């Protein structure tokens, strides 16, 4: 089952992502990419809000609580930040897949599929950094807690908050540490280099 899931994610990744975006370096050094993903996450949430009344899931799905303290985040290493974000993405992908399995039709179903593909692509790209290959004993103990959720809209809100919050901050930290001055100048975009407001960091 795990091999089938990995093959499915790889297929999605190759179909949905431009080959030039597969490079971890470009992922963090071209600041336009994270802004693109933030815009896509917000667009998905807007589209699902236009679906009208949505059915509640028969069985709750497990979603990560992705709000975080900026002070605690800044105290972590990039390694710990990357591993924590990977776990949040993996849990979100699993929760989205579980929600899809409960739907056979409706306005939210194709949007859930889009979210699943985008989150899965992010997951594969972040794994290119090799964080998941580290010794498990070095991983931070405090992962994001999970909550049981039946509301479909919460899945989209969680993804948006994760992209605007932890992912955005992680990419910003990696950008400072990994990208050359030339990369920074070529990707210069004052709006993109500003981290999201602190009001987006807390809550679910």
Distances (CA, A) of 155 to 10, 38, 74, 204: 22, 15, 26, 10
**Within a domain: residue 119?**
yes
**Which pLDDT does position 175 carry in this prediction?**
82
**Within a domain: residue 154?**
yes
Residues whose CB falls within 8 Å of the CB of residue 138, separated by 6 or more in sequence, listed in order: 79
Find the CATH number of the domain harbouring 72: 1.20.1250.10
**Which pLDDT does position 124 carry in this prediction?**
84
pLDDT interval class at 99 (50, 70, 90):
very high
**Within a domain: residue 50?**
no
Residue-wise pLDDT tens digits, 180-196:
555 544 444 444 444 44
**Within a domain: residue 5?**
no
pTM: 0.75
Quote the percentage of the chain above a pLDDT of 90.
41
Residue-wise pLDDT tens digits, 34-71:
888 899 999 999 999 999 888 899 999 999 999 988 89
**Within a domain: residue 47?**
no
**Which pLDDT does position 102 carry in this prediction?**
93
Q: Are 38 and 168 in contact (CB under 8 A)?
A: yes
**Which pLDDT does position 192 carry in this prediction?**
42
**Residue 202 domain boundaries:** 65-204
To the nearest whole number, what is the mean pLDDT of the chain? 77
**Within a domain: residue 30?**
no
Residue-wise pLDDT tens digits, 63-95:
999 998 889 999 999 889 988 999 999 999 999
**Which pLDDT does position 18 carry in this prediction?**
44
Specify the number of domains making up the chain.
Answer: 1
**Within a domain: residue 160?**
yes
């Amino acid at each position: 089952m795990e091999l089938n899931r990995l093959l499915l994610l790889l297929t999605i990744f190759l179909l949905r992502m431009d080959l030039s975006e597969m490079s971890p370096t470009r992922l963090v050094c071209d600041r336009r990419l994270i802004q693109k993903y933030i815009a896509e996450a917000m667009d998905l949430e807007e589209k699902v809000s236009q679906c009208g009344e949505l059915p509640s899931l028969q069985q709750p799905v497990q979603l990560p609580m992705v709000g975080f303290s900026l002070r605690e985040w800044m105290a972590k290493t990039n390694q710990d930040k990357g591993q924590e974000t990977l776990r949040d993405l993996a849990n979100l992908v699993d929760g989205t897949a579980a929600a899809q399995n409960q739907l056979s039709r409706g306005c939210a179903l194709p949007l859930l599929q889009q979210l699943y593909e985008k989150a899965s692509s992010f997951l594969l790209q972040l794994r290119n950094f090799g964080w998941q290959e580290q010794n498990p004993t070095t991983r931070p103990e405090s992962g994001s807690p999970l909550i049981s959720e039946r509301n479909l809209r919460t899945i989209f809100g969680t993804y948006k908050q994760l992209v605007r919050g932890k992912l955005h901050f992680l990419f910003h930290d990696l950008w400072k540490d990994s990208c050359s001055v030339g990369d920074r100048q070529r990707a210069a975009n004052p709006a993109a280099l500003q981290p999201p407001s602190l009001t987006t960091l807390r809550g679910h």
